[in-house]
Chain A
Amino acid sequence: MAPTPPTWRLDNESVGEPGSSLHGVTGHEPTFLPTIDPVHEHDDQPGAPPTDLKGRPFKLPVDSEHKAKTVRIWTIHRPHMLAFHLSWFSFMVCFFSTFAAPPLMPVIRENLNLDKIDIGNAGVASVAGAVVSRVLMGTICDLLGPRFGASSLMLITAPAVFCMSLVTDPTGFVLVRFFIGFCLATFVSCQFWMSSMFNTKVVGIANGTAAGWGNMGGGIVQLVMPGVFHIIRHNIGSNDFTAWRIAFFIPGVIQVFVGIVVLIFGQDLPDGNYSELKRKGDKVNDSFKKVFLYAVTNYRMYIFALTYGYCFGVELTIDNIIAQYFYDRFDLNLTTAGTVAASFGLMNLFSRPLGGVLSDLAAARWGMRGRLWCSWTIQTLGGISCIILGVVGQLGPAIVVLLLFSFFVQAACGTTFGIIPFISRRSLGIISGATGAGGNVGAVVTQAIFFLNSSYPTERGILYMGIMIVCCTLPVCFVYFPQWGSMFCGPSKSVTEADYYKSEWNKDEQSRGLHKASMKFAENAKSERGSQHGSIAAKEGLEDANTKGETAV
């Protein structure tokens, strides 16, 4: 008889429930939940290593939900580390396909007779599709699992990549870039998969590293595509206008290959795939209306959607325009311009994870106020370096400024997701999803305003974009958490974390005890008071809850 499936969800979430798809995205959800039915505790033999449904022992230390407690990056232990590598690699491949056209733009624009407006429209289209697809991917991950979500998205959008070889006019170019752009929703499946596989103490690092390495695809492509183009031109002898079309088979074939690999080797959960595990019914414990209401009435969601639009959105914009910018302004050849452009995206190897680390360090010392200052400072420095980039006219300094700019912009993405989990506990999923979508909206708006206009050159557009980054980061000053304060105000003495998170549940729901998980989170969140106030209280809270958790087992 098959063992009963694990309830790996929180007690007031269930399949398909809004918010559950981004559970664990930020790694600050509490690990101790005595109300969870710890099925595996019963199945695991005492003293024996924990095993999955098929009786194979896990190679990594796991917790009671069989989520890994460490991230061993240099291994591919199944299922956790294999999921990690499949996850970031599939996200990277999608970034690669979405931004495969920009490094070859000097050739493509001549072949398809594109003008600046067409190129701008295509850039907008490439990031616009993901605004919708990221929101949909959350639900797909909940219902079908991240493995199906990622692989089916990649296999369905791969034909769009191949269709790029058939395009002959600007309209076709814009349409194809639009359809390819849908695959950027693999961000959601990547983060969801990490939060299913990794314990909350390490899921922050797992998510940040996976997202950062995935974003690197936007940098790697700027190196690879010109290289492939040159090989096809010189070694195979095709004309320019045919060579770039053949070059597009590289991202297409890789995307198909990785999609199939994810389907074959991927596993949704530590114990198996969704289809293998029987689920315990579809009890919907929370109402979509309520979760949606608490998200849209929380002004902080809008502020962070805006600011994420001006760090991640700017990153997407730069991926689209920078190779052409260096080609045109500094008269570099295609390969050199691609190399310079690549350096921007490749900084993601450490910039984004470092942003998260800096946010955590600031929080350890100064609490949430530290996180807010960290986020504002890093993003504003990004804006200032963008302004300088638009002004610099010599190649050497421009490259230096570009590298600085890339660090700040990518670290700002990391710091934003250090704050997001604390905005709401009940509506975490929707707020995280809205922030992610806000990133793409920022890219759409920025490209539409500054890079579609042919009345001023690209460097002026970059200057204006820098000014806009600085302006759109100012709203962070207005983010106020009653229990922790804001950048300029201290906390209110009468409001605690528990009050803040309890306010999302009305009296009736509280009487039914639906708010208990939020209360556990509130206890954990006392760490956001900073070292002067919170650490002792937080430790006590953690220890209490831990002992409660153990006795409940």
Chain B
Amino acid sequence: MSPMKIGFVLSLALLALVSVAEGGVSFKSLNRTLTVQAKIQASNATSGLAHVGTDHLVISWAFNSSFAGKDADYVNVKIRLCYAPVSQTDRGWRKTKDDLHKDKTCSKGIAKQKYVATGNTTTWRITKDVPGAIYFVRVYAVDALGTQLAFGQTTDKNKTTNLFEIVPISGRHASVDVAAAVFSVFSVGSLMGFLSLEAIKQRKLNGKAGQ
């Protein structure tokens, strides 16, 4: 089977697998019925920055009783780490969209808990794959199917207050640095070595021819 045919069959199969895109819940339609607080539990308490890998985020959420009765369908809560607008500029992969299926604001999940009206707390050690950026925390109340019904977040409507910064790891490692240096030296060195070997050989041949 030619590659073109294979590609065509594959694409048909993929097309069959991909279900018709359903619109997700609209964020604007959700009520802010939960209150959420997040605190940084840092080993170095004075810095105000959260360091990946060592520091923790303590997130506590509860149902706002002024919305009494609205929590009948809540089954679980999903706690998510969300980018603040300043970390979204020029980064289309973090864009906020009203359709929650397409929204990429809160791409990092923190925890999932059972919904209880009195609320709960979770302590989350910030994982090493979290990029350096400015964040806030949002909690979605979801039903049994995972559809968002309501939310709460640590910041205001415009996402400007109460934001915190997470400091990432660089990803660099001493052993990787050393290996890179060694291989680089080997690369240039072997070229120099071969060139000088050829030059010596050439001189020997020239010398012989001259005799």
A interface residues with partner B (beta carbon < 8 Å): 2, 106, 109-111, 113, 115-117, 151-152, 155-156, 158-159, 162-163, 165-166, 168, 239-242, 244-246, 249, 252-253, 255-256, 259-260, 263, 275, 328, 343, 346-347, 349-350, 394-397, 399-400, 403, 407, 454, 457-458
Contact = CB atoms under 8 A, between A and B. Distances in A.
A111 B179 contact: no
Nearest to B4: A403
B116 interface: no
Given A263-B194, A399-B14, A113 B184 contact: no
B202 A275 contact: yes
B129 A241 contact: yes
B72 interface: no
Contact of A151 (B3, B131, B191): B191
A116 B93 CA distance: 9
Nearest to A151: B191
Interface in B1-38: 3-4, 7-8, 10-12, 14-16, 18, 21
Contact of A259 (B14, B180, B183, B187): B187
- Most chain B C-beta atoms within 10 Å of own C-beta, residue among A347, A395, A396: A396
Given A256-B183, A400-B7, 16 more contacts: A111-B131, A111-B170, A155-B187, A155-B188, A156-B188, A162-B181, A241-B168, A241-B171, A263-B191, A275-B198, A350-B3, A394-B15, A395-B14, A400-B8, A403-B7, A407-B4
Interface in B81-104: 89-93
A5 to B, nearest CB: 13
Q: Summarize B's interface: helix, strand, loop or mixed.
A: helix
8 contacts: A109-B93, A111-B131, A115-B91, A158-B184, A159-B187, A165-B172, A249-B180, A346-B3
A449 B22 CA distance: 34
User: Size class of B's contact patch?
Assistant: 35 or more
B187 A158 contact: yes
Given A240-B129, A350-B3, A162 B15 contact: no
B171 A253 contact: no
B132 interface: yes
- Most chain A C-beta atoms within 10 Å of own C-beta, residue among B3, B12, B171, B179: B171
Interface in B161-196: 168-173, 176-177, 179-181, 183-184, 186-188, 190-191, 194-195
B70 interface: no
A163 B7 CA distance: 37
B124 to A, nearest CB: 17
Given A110-B131, A158-B184, A397 B11 contact: yes
Contacts of A109: 91, 93
A32 B37 CA distance: 85
Contact of A111 (B11, B16, B168, B176): B168
- Most chain A C-beta atoms within 10 Å of own C-beta, residue among B89, B184, B187, B190: B187
A253 to B, nearest CB: 7
Contacts of A343: 7
A239 B3 contact: no
A249 B194 CA distance: 23
A109 B93 CA distance: 10
Contacts of B168: 111, 241
A336 to B, nearest CB: 10
A396 B15 contact: yes
B144 interface: no
Contact of B171 (A239, A252, A256): A239
B81 to A, nearest CB: 13
B18 A394 contact: yes
Contact of B176 (A168, A245, A253, A259): A245
B93 A158 contact: no
Contacts of A347: 3
Given A241-B168, A241-B171, A156 B191 contact: yes
A400 B188 contact: no
**Which 10 pairs across A and B sit closest by C-beta, in order of nearness?**
A241-B171, A396-B15, A159-B184, A110-B131, A115-B90, A162-B180, A155-B191, A158-B187, A239-B128, A454-B90
